[in-house]
Structures are given as structure tokens and as C-alpha cells.
Amino acid sequence: MNATSITSSASEAISTAEIDASCRVPLFTLFVSGAVWLVVASIFGLLASLKFHSPGFLSDCAALTYGRVHPVATNALVYGFGVQAGLGVALWMIARLGGTRVAQPWLISLGGKLWNLGLLIGVIGVLAGDSTGFEGLEIPRYGVVFLFLGYLLIAFWTLVTLHSRKVRALGPSQWFLLAALFWFPWIYFTANYLLLSHTPIRGVTQAIVAWWYSGNLNLVWFGLVGLAVTFYFIQHLMNRPLYSGNLALFTFWTIILFASWSGIPASAPLPAWLPALSTVATVLTVITVLSVMANVHKTCGRGCSQTENPPPGKFIAFGAIAFVVSWLMNIANTIPQINSVTNFTWFTVGQWQLNVFGFFAMTMFGAIYYIVPQVTGVEWPCAKSPRRHFWLAAIGIILIALPLAIGGIVEGFNWRNLKMSNVDVAKNALNFLRVSTVGELLILLGNLMLLGNLIGLSVRYYRIHFVPVYKEATAELKPAEGKP
């Protein structure tokens, strides 16, 4: 944070190296499994995308039908990478900003393992046909229990870490993270309890809860965590304080007050007040976007373009731009006149991808590329690799979001054109989707690079820290000199 907030006395100050070391165990669990899920997500995403090139592709197997592969891809991306990596980065930032060691790193790591177990069970369940049928909440009940417990374990000890901070004053990034830590269990519990308990709510209220949850996860949770990381790293990498803490506070309030009411589509078959309220709230998030733009722009000033940006900065800058574009797309999509064209089209998918991958995942990549060498004290095995990953991911997501957005608008107008039959409209829209398959492929390659980098770095770490110890321990005892 800014220099004035560092008030702790030198005697109790904990060195950065010590703080980083305390993060190592949980971050290893969260980041490596996050990267594995990311690869899983892009493999399934690619499979789903390939089905549009040839509908017969792998269609003989029930588990690999589009309606099961697609939710696996989205859940692996959101819960496997998104939430998991977000929690890891949040933990590190909270420890660093608070100048304190992570509380109970092994329990956090255990939480991460529960989370992964839950997701694995859930994904297998979805492939076996046990999906709940609610978009964004497909994981069946028996997986949700583990996910929820895992989250609670991680979040609780992260909050304890926050509580035991040595630097008392909270900065903007910490507000965002604190709110996010508390936000997720509430929305996740509400949605799963109301939809999947033995006596679920009935009728269209099910859809309302699922929409409410998705809006809160995609905008509020990803927004809060993503922007916390953006604000932190802008200061950290530019080596200057945030332009305005008050503006960041304003951003914070607009997210929790407005974005939390979004999510209900403008055309939803509900009493008119619900979509209307959601539209108004979503349109108001334009203030969030503007305040973030102003703050980031003023903080960077001219500095952004002057020096060669290292990979973490590149990722985070891309994430910030994707944030602005995807939130503006989301606003456009809730205006009834525009929604009547774009709703139910690939436009919404493009917007979702741009938000979850373009903004959130990219921001997390930047943070991971910065944090991991700090925490382990080991450099990335291949210095050029993060840069290559950046270009693959950036071009990949552009090749997904742009064709889908344009294709969605075309599709929307085609559905209104009665001269085109249903089959014609669907086939026409698939042309755009096919371009996005190239994007999926590039993203898969990029994700493999991230996983490869993390594994390579772990091997290096192992070689540096464990091999010498092992050698020493198992070295042949030389007979002492001077004896016969």
C-alpha cells in the first residue's frame, strides 16, 4: 500500500521472505491444481467447440455429448481455476499487505484439496448425467458439500491471516478481498440450498435464484477479486501509490450495491419488475467501469507505455482492458432494445468468456507469474515462456470473444428474419463459432504452458532445496582421516 500505512515497528516486522515462505504450501496446492483444471477446462472447451464442426464427433458416447462436455468446461474454468487461483492470490496479497505470516498454511492447503476433490467428484457426476441443470451450478449435491467445506476452510484461515495483520489500516485491495471472501459462501450456500435441498424452491423462482447467483459470481466475486489484484499490482509494478483511494472506495460500493442486483436477463419470463430492476442496476455498473478506468489511467499516467512491460504487467493490463469491454458488453446486453437482438445468441457467451477468461483469468495469470518466483525464490525455467503464454492467451481470447460477439449480433438479426429457416440461422451462426475454435486451441496451448511452467519451476525448486539435503543425508560416511 502507500508508504504511510506501513506503521509497524521494526522489532515485530516480519521479513517479506518469511511471509512469502509461509504462503508456499497453500499456493502450491491452489495454483498447480488450478492450472490442471485450466487445462481440463480448455480440453473440454475444445471438444465442445469441435462438435460444431461435425455434430457426429464423439456423439455416440453419452458422457461426451455436448450438453455434458460444455458444463464441465465452464465449471472447470470457473471453480477449478477461477475461484481457486483467486483464493490463492488473495491469500498472498492479504499476507503481504498485512505484513504477516499465513495462518495455518497446511489447513488452507487441506481446504484446497477438499475443494479439488469436490470439483472432481462433481465433474464426474456431470459427465455421468448428474448435472443439476442450473447454469453455473451444475455440480451435483455430493460435490457441492466438499467444495463448500473446502472454501470455508480456506476462507476462514485467510480471514484469520487478515485479522492477525501487523499493518492495521486496510487498503482498497483488502476491502475488495474481504468482501469477496464473505460473498461467495453466502451466494453459494443460498443457491445450492434453495435449489438442491430435499425440498427445493419451486417453479420459476429456481431460475431466478440461478440467475442471481450467476450475476453475483460473474460480476461481484470476479469483479472484486480481479480488481483487487489489478489495483495491487498496478501500484506494485509501477512502484507508485494508487491515484485515489476514495475513487477505489467508490468502485467498491458501486460493485457491491449495483452489480449484486444484476443477472436477470431483460427478457426473462418473470413479473416485469424483476428484469427491470436488474437492468437498472446493471446499467449503473457503468459507474464502476468509469471509476476503474479513471483510477487505473491516472495511476499509470504515462508510465504504461514508457518501459517494456514485464509479463505480469502485460497480463494485468490486458485483464483491465477486457474488464472494461466485457462489463460494457454486459451493460449493453441488459438494455431491452439491444437484448431483444443479442439475448439467446453467442453474444452472451462471448461476453462471459471475455469476463471470466479475458479479465479474471488473465489477471490471475499475471499475479501467478509474479507471485510464484517470489514465494519459491526460484525463477521460471524458461524466461520467454510467460511472454509466449501471454500472446497465446491474448490472441486466443480475442479470437473467441470477437467472433462470438459479432456472430451473436448477426444471429440475433437472423432469428428475426423470417426468410431464414431455423436450420439456416443455426448453421450461419456456427460459422462464427468455428473461428472461435482456433481461439480455444491457442488458449489450450497457453494453459499447457502455464502448467508446464509451474511443474518446471517445482522441479527446479525440488532440485535446489531437496536434492542437496537428500544427498547430504544419504552420503556415504567417509572414514575419519588419521585412523587406520
Partner 1 sequence: MKYGPLVFLAAFFALSASWCGLVLTPQIQLGRAVQETNSVVKTDLYPAGRSGLAREGLEVYRANGCAYCHSQQVSQKGTLVDVILTAAGKNPMDVAAALNEAQVGTFSGPSVGAGLPKTVLRNVPMEKASVLANVLKKAGATAELHLVPVGPDIERGWGARRTVAEDFIADATVMPGSQRVGPDLANIGERKPDLNWQLVHLYSPSSAMAGSPMPSYAFLFDKKKIGRQPAPDALKPIGEFVPPAGYEIVPKPAATALAAYLISLRSDTPLYEAPLTPAAPATNAPAK
When the beta carbons of 184 and 318 are compared against partner 1, the nearer one is: 184
Query: Which part of the chain contacts partner 1 (CB under 8 A), choosing from 264-272, 374-382, 399-407, 436-444?
Result: 264-272
Query: Contacting partner 1 (CB under 8 A), which of 17, 61, 280, 464?
Result: 61
In the region spanning residues 71 to 100, those forming contacts with partner 1, defined by CB under 8 A, are 71
User: Closest separation between CB of residue 55 and partner 1, Å?
Assistant: 4
Q: Which is nearer to partner 1, 79 or 390 (by Cβ)? A: 79
CB contact at 8 A, 386 and 311: yes
209 vs 186: CA distance, rounded Å: 13
Considering only residues 351 through 410, tell me which ones interact with partner 1, judged by CB under 8 A: none
# residues contacting partner 1 (CB under 8 A): 85
Closest CA to 296 of 321, 267, 275: 321
Per CB under 8 A, the list member of 284, 415, 438, 445 interacting with partner 1 is 415
- On whether the CB atoms of residues 316 and 229 are closer than 8 A, the answer is yes
State the sign of the Cα–Cα–Cα–Cα dihedral 64, 67, 73, 75: negative
Taking CB under 8 A as the rule, does residue 40 contact partner 1? Answer: no
Q: In angstroms, rounded to a whole number, what is the distance separating the alpha carbons of residues 443 and 464?
A: 31
Q: Which stretch binds partner 1 (CB under 8 A): 49-57, 102-110, 436-444, 462-470?
A: 49-57
**CB of 205 or CB of 307, closer to partner 1:** 205
Contact, 80 vs 119, CB < 8 A? yes
N- to C-terminal Cα separation, the chain:
65
Could you give the string, one character per residue 127-166, with x where binding to partner 1 holds by CB under 8 A and - elsewhere?
--xxxxxxx--------------------------xx---
CA distance 81 to 35: 6
Taking the complex as a whole, how short is the minimal distance between the CB of residue 21 and partner 1, in angstroms? 25
- Please, which of residues 179-238 interact with partner 1 by CB under 8 A? 179, 182-183, 186-187, 190, 194, 200-209, 212, 216
Q: Which of 361, 389, 480, 438 is nearest to 52 (CA)?
A: 438
Q: Are 183 and 158 in contact (CB under 8 A)?
A: no
Least gap, CB of 104 to partner 1 (angstroms):
19
Chain residues 274-333 in contact with partner 1, contact rule CB under 8 A? 274, 277-278
Q: Which is nearer to partner 1, 67 or 377 (CB)?
A: 67
Q: Which element (helix H / strand E) includes 268?
A: none
DSSP 56: T
